[in-house]
Chains A and B, each alone.
Chain A
């Protein structure tokens, strides 16, 4: 069974630039999560979806971040105008509603200069 895949693996930006992250969850998983993990910290939830619906985006900085999952499969997280404080690893995870376990992808390491 293929795991969660993410791309790109690394991104380096200047402040003010835009970037998109892509996630392909495990086949059959209806729930998809985006977490932000700053260096030396635990992951913090940004947003999560069940199928194509947003369940919780209360921690997503809505002025610059957006996330979609239009067909309930793949998802894209976009930062419109990156700031140095956005430097972190962005992790995608997926799960199936009938099971608790969330499986994480390899992450995208973002550096904003």
Chain B
């Protein structure tokens, strides 16, 4: 089955800097890659996703890049703010309405 590896378990940046979280996946049939944010004691909140028909997607300060050849995708948070501090999970799925396989999470700390 699909395996998703999230490479950074913790990441610390200064406010205003960029943060990058990297993930790799194993299933070549995966075509949908969402990112979720989890604040302390709370549930998962969807932040951005990318489908395999594009290699870049941006939503305000969030950019997702997808390299299908390398089976790698990444989340870039630009101009970080203290409220960006949370655990970020990457995930992969084969298609719409299919189960998600999650990475192990990256704890991002933005120092003010």
Contacts and interface: CB of A to CB of B under 8 A. Distances in A.
Interface of A: 30-31, 33, 40-45, 48, 50, 56, 91, 93, 95-107
Contact of A104 (B4, B45, B49): B45
A44 B91 CA distance: 11
User: Across chains A and B, which 4 residue pairs bring their CB atoms closest together, nearest first?
Assistant: A42-B102, A97-B97, A104-B44, A45-B99
Given A91-B43, A100-B32, A101-B34, A31 B103 contact: no
Most A CB contacts (10 A, CB to CB) among B6, B46, B91 go to B46
Interface in B38-66: 42-46, 49, 51
A83 B32 CA distance: 34
A50 B97 CA distance: 8
Interface of B: 4, 6, 32, 34, 36, 42-46, 49, 51, 89, 91, 93, 95-97, 99-105
A109 B69 CA distance: 39
Contacts of A107: 43
Given A104-B45, A105-B43, A97 B102 contact: no
Nearest to A91: B43
Nearest to B101: A45
Given A100-B49, A101-B49, A42 B105 contact: yes
Contacts of A31: 97
A74 B102 CA distance: 24
B43 A104 contact: yes
